[in-house]
Amino acid sequence: MTQFPSEQLLTFAAVLSEGTLDAAARQLHITPSAVSQRLKALEQSAGRVLLQRSNPAQATEAGEVVLRLARQVAQLEADAGTELGLGSDGPRLAIPIVVNADSLSMWFLQALARLPKELNVTFDLHRDDEQHSASFLRSGKVMAAVTATPDPVQGCRVEPLGVMRYRAVAEPAFARRWFADGVDQAKLNSAPTVDFDRKDTYQWAFVRTWPGKPQETPERKGPRHYVPASHDFGDAIRLGLGWGLIPEVQCGPDIADGRLIELAPDRPFDVPLYWQRWKTASTVLDVVSDTVREAAAEFLRKP
């Protein structure tokens, strides 16, 4: 039976987290040559190439399997340290998590801040669209994810967190220019739109689900601005660059004060969010999951 020494697994995970062999060496306080030797020995044990020596380094398909193992070994070591009461003297676990931008800016960091300090963990947060974050779990890059995917990734379990409600809004002068005669599917599709990035399909989904016959569903026509930061995305809409969907809790005060106009008050856009995490028994992941669930309940609508 093939065995993988924990120091080789630790080194492999460090290279993928840091992006290069040199950066991993600095993080592990060893030489780049030692990193290279450990990787070579690990690949010899696995009998296949595990790492693409690109910049940043990427795991091969086989490497993703070994990365999951490396994360699990680190998790078990950290759990043992916690249960033994080693505190800061025990191994510190770095927990990689992928989170969508709106959750990250609104509530997720508050969840992490509530974790007990004796948990002795650090966090490696990845930001990606909630529709695509499950791929991080499949590849072994993360141990947990805030995702819009209700179906569990293999080796993970999933639970609902709540619903993020969005409102379609625009700056008043923009609304008067583009929607003077009312809001309909054609006007929404023709007016300039603000998207978070090219993975952001929410504005387009809002247009497509507008009441109408399926055969009348249009092609995308209007100009689009891409603003890949949650706060700046909202500012772009407030400044009149285009219309877009903003979380209700963020745009509610602006609607009340008249700084934003709600384009379809009777048509909120709801996105259910889920917490997916590895099934592996883990005291640390259990505590993180409980805290994330409690924080989400304060900020999200009930499913």
Question: What does the DSSP assignment read for 208-257?
Answer: HTSSS-GGGPPPP-S-EEE--SHHHHHHHHHTTS-BEEEEHHHHHHHHHH
d(CA 301, CA 297): 7
Give the tens place of pLDDT for each residue, 13-58. Answer: 888 888 899 998 998 889 989 989 998 988 888 888 888 888 888 8
- Look at residue 2 in the predicted model and tell me its pLDDT: 66
Neighbours of 245 (CB within 10 A): 27
DSSP 271: E
Query: Distance of CA 208 to CAs 178, 188, 189, 212, 215, Å?
Result: 18, 10, 9, 9, 11
Model confidence at 215, pLDDT cuts 50, 70, 90, reads very low
Q: What is the pTM of this model?
A: 0.76
pLDDT digits (tens, 9 = 90+) for 276-301: 998 877 888 899 999 999 999 999 99
Would you state the structure tokens that stand for residue 293, as one six-digit string? 């669930």
pLDDT digits (tens, 9 = 90+) for 127-137: 888 777 888 88
